[in-house]
Amino acid sequence: MLSWLKSIFFSFLKTKIISSGDRNKDEGLDFSEFSKYLKEHEKKLQLTFKSLDKNKDDITEIRQSLADLGLEISKEHAEKILQSIDVDGTMTVDWNEWREHFLFNPATNLQEIVRYWKHSTVLDIGDSLTIPDEFTEEEKTTGLWWKQLSAGAVAGAVSRTGTAPLDRMKVFMQVHASTTNKISLVSGFKQMLKEGGVASLWRGNGINVMKIAPETAIKFMAYEQYKKLLSSEPGKVKSHERFMAGSLAGATAQTAIYPMEVMKTRMTLRKTGQYSGMFDCAKKVLKNEGVKAFYKGYIPNILGIIPYAGIDLAVYESLKNFWLSHYAKDTANPGVLVLLGCGTISSTCGQLASYPLALIRTRMQAQASVEGSEQLPMNLMVKKIMKKEGFFGLYRGILPNFMKVIPAVSISYVVYEYMRSGLGIQK
């Protein structure tokens, strides 16, 4: 798996250099095209170097430039970045060192050069509670932001479709499994296949994919507004302000699309012939249970945003700092495998912390559709689970949830990179 991802990453790097210099579109570079690519790339690098070089010491310049992009780093980490470029050991970078370091890297500006350490939301593991990515002013004015969001949305759709059977098994176990009704992965899949055939493994996936676009758009727009409201200095967002803005943006997006979350749970758990489609499901829920049914489980869902987003961000930053402190000897670029590893571990830790709230939310969403189920509020449901099933009853379905993480991350990353390439977004 690791060697496969690595080969994918380097193939993208090669493709980007070729596509940047290929004038006659023959999918190759001749000597003339290669020479032109080097000259043009060198001009762009020179402009970037001049924008950085403000006659201060180089470490301060690096830290200030990254801070302007919303990425705060320590002096030690700035020194490691400087050391990776500095050839003669003077702890200063001249134009020749800068040119040699980036000439065969497709990055053409400072934003691209530092972007690899940003915590990207491209890693879609089925939950949308992460803090949104930052976009530079250049990305906003040139329209690159919507291409990035579109690439991420398509990657999320493919990833969720690929892991839908495991996601349905998770919801199935969250709602139906108990100490008296033990459901294993094998017995659960047998029940699903017997009841509805192979196609039933993808129940609820349609609306799960449909809600990606509106949720992403609302979260992005809300995040930008919350940052303006919460930032103490115009144009600069500190870490705690980013966390607060991201959490509020997540809560806003979840509030807007929450009826789709309830529908997703109902469609996932439906029996053959129960609903003819999404609209039929919505109509029956509205008729039988009223408007309030579309917001069942809303409180535990919103409460789950804080532990998920907070732990996800904290673990990612800790893993990043650990790598920079112990392994960043020659370069500050961690490479695709380290980034994927950090993102996967941090997202998994966030899920682990917020999982009990996710289980409570799912049971509250589903309880009206389960025969003989009591209509309980959040606090009484927690007490009931703790009394009958113990603490681990709050983690029913955690196994299929963890099983889908690695395939979901791998699929979403690869599809995202292909989409970036197809939309003409520079690496």
Poorest-pLDDT segment among 32-36, 180-184, 213-217, 243-247: 32-36
**Full domain range(s) for residue 109:** 14-117
Kindly report the CATH number assigned to the domain that includes residue 273: 1.50.40.10
- Residue 167 burial class via C-beta count within 10 angstroms: exposed 0-12, middle 13-18, buried 19 and up: buried
Same-domain check for residues 103 and 165: no
Say if residue 186 is in the same domain as residue 241: yes
Is residue 121 predicted with pLDDT exceeding 60?
no
At 144 the pLDDT is 77
Q: Is residue 2 part of a domain?
A: no
Give the pLDDT of residue 122: 54
Pick the residue with more confidence: 389 or 139?
Answer: 389
Instruction: Tell me, yes or no, whether 264 and 397 share the same domain.
Output: yes
What CA–CA distance (Å, rounded) separates 216 from 162?
20
Q: How far is CA 337 from CA 2, 172, 407, 413, in A?
A: 7, 33, 14, 11
Instruction: Note whether 89 and 198 are same-domain residues.
Output: no
DSSP 422: H
Domain assignment present for 124: no
Structural domain includes residue 207: yes
Is it the case that residue 230 has pLDDT exceeding 80? yes
Report the run of H or E that residue 272 belongs to, with start and end. Answer: none
Pair of tokens at residue 246:
């991201």
Residue that is last in its domain, among 82, 117, 152: 117
Cβ-Cβ contacts under 8 Å for 99 (sequence gap 6 or more):
42, 45, 46, 49
Q: Of 117, 151, 179, at which residue does a domain stop? A: 117
Q: Please check whether residue 261 is in contact with residue 211, taking contact to mean a CB–CB distance below 8 angstroms.
A: yes
Interatomic CA distance for residues 410 and 412, integer angstroms: 6
Contact 401, 351 (CB under 8 A): yes
Q: 364 Cβ partners below 8 Å, 6+ apart?
A: 296, 297, 300, 376, 378, 381
Most confident of 91-105, 324-338, 402-416: 402-416
Indicate if the pLDDT at residue 68 is higher than 60: no
Which residue from 399, 411, 382 is spatially nearest to 123, judged by alpha carbons?
411
% residues pLDDT > 90 (the chain)? 30
60 lies in a domain? yes
> What CATH number is given to the structural domain containing 46?
1.10.238.10
Buried b (16+ CB within 10 A) or exposed e, 385-399: beeebeeebbbbbbe
The per-residue pLDDT for 13 is 43
Distance CA 92, CA 69 (A): 22
Same structural domain for residues 166 and 96? no
Same domain, 217 and 364: yes
CA 30, 36, 40, 45 dihedral sign is: positive
Q: Show the tokens assigned to 117.
A: 């350490």
- The number of distinct structural domains making up the chain is 2
| Residues 186 and 65 both lie in one domain | no
Q: Is the pLDDT of residue 114 over 60?
A: no
- Per the domain annotation, does 339 fall within a domain? yes
Rounded Cα–Cα distance for residues 216 and 160 (Å): 15
Length of the chain (residues): 427
For the beta carbon of residue 34, count every other beta carbon within 10 angstroms.
Answer: 15
3-state percent helix, strand, coil for the chain, nearest multiple of 5: 75, 0, 25
Answer yes or no: do 77 and 206 share one domain: no
Domain C-terminal end among 63, 89, 117: 117
At residue 358, does pLDDT exceed 90?
yes
Quick one: 66 and 141 in the same domain?
no
Is the pLDDT confidence value at 195 over 70?
A: yes
Q: What is the pLDDT of residues 125-145, one digit of tens each?
A: 666 666 666 666 666 777 777
Could you read off the pLDDT of 71-93 as tens digits, one per residue? Answer: 566 677 667 666 666 666 665 66
What residue has token string 């049971």?
363
Contact 205, 265 (CB under 8 A): no
Same-domain check for residues 243 and 374:
yes
* Structural domain includes residue 7: no
One domain for residues 240 and 304: yes
Structure tokens at 276: 């003819």
Instruction: Using alpha carbons, list the distances in angstroms from residue 72 to 77, 281, 332, 366, 394.
Output: 10, 47, 14, 43, 37
Residue 382 counted as domain residue: yes
Which one, of 402, 393, 413, 365, lies nearest residue 169 by Cα? 402
| In a shared domain, residues 107 and 207 | no
